[in-house]
Structure 1
Amino acid sequence: MFVILGAAGKVGISTASALRAAKLPVRAVLRDAAKAGPLQAIGCDIAFADLRDTAALGVAIAGAEAVQIILPPPLGAEDARWEMRALTESMAEALAQARPKRVLAISDYGAHVPEDIGMPTVFRLFEERLRRLDMPKILLRSAEHMEGWARSIPAAIATGTLPSLHHPVERTFAVVSTGDVGCAAADLLYRPGADKAEQIVHVEGPRRYSASDVAVALGPLLGRTITAQAVPRSRWQEALEKTLSASTARLLVDLYDAHNKGGLIDVEPGGEVRYGTTGLVEALRPFVPA
């Protein structure tokens, strides 16, 4: 049995779908019963547990061959770092109790960097806590998700400009579709590295893109010319707080500061990399209004 925590998310459902396509048994762990339908449709067993409920997680994980875990950024948390540490501890304690044969954790590019760079630093602490577990671990570090750019599509339609916190807009960076992250995770869960106590794998798309490349890709999809436009650094916090708490927004401000410094939000030197096959246009097409 392969157990997927956060199975209703984009990465979780992609992992579950890839495992089920290989005829493997999957238990999808959800918080919201309303999201069970698509996972039931592909033949997953369903269990319900909140990530904060260690006892319920332990029951959901019991008997697993392998478990995939993901640490969701809390969109509205007053103290995002504290909230993510609490979720990390709850999942780690549940894993220690249930003792699956291995665990795969979805982590982040830049999690190897020792200095504080915001969101990747939270994932560095996530990895450090998991290293204390006495079981084989796969740390799958994901590049920035292509689908995240979908949030800017309404602004691009309305104004012809694509707002970007990546400066300069011509600098390329690693991105990956959530579907490719899920497929890589499924492969690693099913065929892990032999006898490795810890395996670190990075996953990104078939090529790197700049914000200007994203704008060019959106042009034909939206039927108009789109131009990338750098959002002034002084406006980042305010812009992010339109949809996030101040605490979560600050983690992303620090993340983009590190991005724009260059060389930090990247593959750990000498690290293993897997490349997905999904291009940016394919990843963004489902988010374009008819």
Structure 2
Amino acid sequence: MFVIFGAAGNVGKASAAALRRAGRTVRAVVRNEKQGEFLAGIGCEIAVADLFDTSAVARAIEGAQAVQLLCPVPHAHTDPADAMRHMIDASVAALRAAPPQHVLALSDYGAEHESGTGITTLFHYLETQLQTVDSRLTFLRAAEHMHNWARTLPTALACGVLPSLHHPLSKRFPTVAAQDVGLLAADLLLDDGARQGSPRVVSIEGDERVSALDVARTIGDLAVREIVAREVPRDQWNAMLQGAGLGELYARLITDLYDAHNAGRIDVEAQSSERRFGTTKLADVLAAILPRVAAAARTAEAAR
């Protein structure tokens, strides 16, 4: 039995589908039954679990040979970092009580740093806590997800301007498609070779690095209009993020993250990880997202 947490997300769905294609039994863990409809359709067993509840996590992993663990940042909480640490503690307690043979944790570039990296420090905490579990451990550290640009697409399409926290605009940074992360995760779960000692650390990014200028150009090509990248001044970050509905502490996690990005601290830990490269292009990811964003914009305009 392969247990996939966060199975309704872009990464988890790709992992679950790949494992089913390989003929494996999959239990897909979701937050509610509706999220499980597609997964049930491809033959997954569905489990509904609250990751803050150790007993619910314990039921979800019962009988598991391998577990793919995703602890998402709970951005709706007043203190997302504290909430995520509680989520991690609950999940780790369940895994420690009934350790499966293999645990693969979805982590981030920069997770080797204990502090000073905003959201990424939470993945450092995840990796550290999991090392108390008596399982074979794999940490799959992914670069920034290409899907994250969906958040700024409405602004880009409405105003012709792509706001960027990546400074300078010409700086090239690693990014990756969520489906490539999910497919690699499934491959790593299926790799049942015996490994002892330290956790296996695997990094994944796309086959070419991009800049904010590249992202704007790609959106413009797809939308058939000019899109200009704009560097958001550092002193405007908090106001912009909170104006978009983010809480103060979540906004701080993001500003700290991009400060670390711009200082070059969020990158592959080349000496300690196996490097893999996805094949999905940024244009392919944005082309899939763009119609939904454009349709939502048209609906909002019609409702005014």
Q: What TM-score bracket applies, with the shorter chain setting the length?
A: over 0.9
> Shift of the alpha carbon at 1:193?
5.0
Q: Is the 8 A contact 1:108 1:143 kept in 2?
A: yes
Deviations 1:3-41 (A, max 9, x none): 001111111111111111111111001111111111011
User: Aligned residue for 1:135?
Assistant: 135
* Distance of 1:63 and 1:55 partners within structure 2: 14
Are 2:251 and 1:249 aligned?
yes
* SS of equivalent to 2:152: helix
> Shift of the alpha carbon at 1:92?
0.2
User: Aligned residue for 1:203?
Assistant: 204
* SS of equivalent to 2:153: helix
> Shift of the alpha carbon at 1:98?
2.3
User: Aligned residue for 1:72?
Assistant: 72
Deviations 1:221-266 (A, max 9, x none): 111011111011111112222232211111110000011112x100
* Distance of 1:147 and 1:186 partners within structure 2: 20
* SS of equivalent to 1:288: helix
User: Aligned residue for 2:282?
Assistant: 280
Deviations 1:75-126 (A, max 9, x none): 1211111101100001101111222111000011101124422111111111
Deviations 1:185-211 (A, max 9, x none): 000000155323410001111111001
* SS of equivalent to 2:260: helix
Deviations 1:124-158 (A, max 9, x none): 11111011111110000111000100111111111
User: Aligned residue for 2:19?
Assistant: 19
Q: Which residue type is aligned with residue 247 of structure 1?
A: L
User: Aligned residue for 1:144?
Assistant: 144
Are 2:219 and 1:218 aligned?
yes
* SS of equivalent to 2:90: helix
User: Aligned residue for 1:63?
Assistant: 63
Are 2:129 and 1:126 aligned?
no
User: Aligned residue for 2:85?
Assistant: 85
Counterpart mapping for 1:228-239 below 5 A: 228-239=229-240
Deviations 1:254-282 (A, max 9, x none): 000011112x1001131211100000000
Structure 2 stretches lacking a partner, 5+ long: 295-304
Q: Is the 8 A contact 1:73 1:248 kept in 2?
A: no
Q: Is the 8 A contact 2:71 2:88 kept in 1?
A: yes
* SS of equivalent to 1:196: coil
* Distance of 1:40 and 1:243 partners within structure 2: 34
Q: Is the 8 A contact 1:212 1:228 kept in 2?
A: yes
Deviations 1:151-182 (A, max 9, x none): 11111111111110000011000100000000
Query: What fraction of aligned residue pairs are identical, expressed as a percent?
Result: 48
User: Aligned residue for 1:101?
Assistant: 101
* Distance of 1:132 and 1:8 partners within structure 2: 27
* SS of equivalent to 1:36: helix
RMSD: 1.2
User: Aligned residue for 2:162?
Assistant: 162
Aligned residues: 289
* SS of equivalent to 2:141: strand
Q: Is the 8 A contact 2:96 2:132 kept in 1?
A: no
User: Aligned residue for 1:186?
Assistant: 186
* SS of equivalent to 2:46: strand
* Distance of 1:165 and 1:192 partners within structure 2: 40
* Distance of 1:109 and 1:193 partners within structure 2: 25
> Shift of the alpha carbon at 1:287?
1.2
Q: Is the 8 A contact 1:74 1:248 kept in 2?
A: no
* Distance of 1:189 and 1:6 partners within structure 2: 15
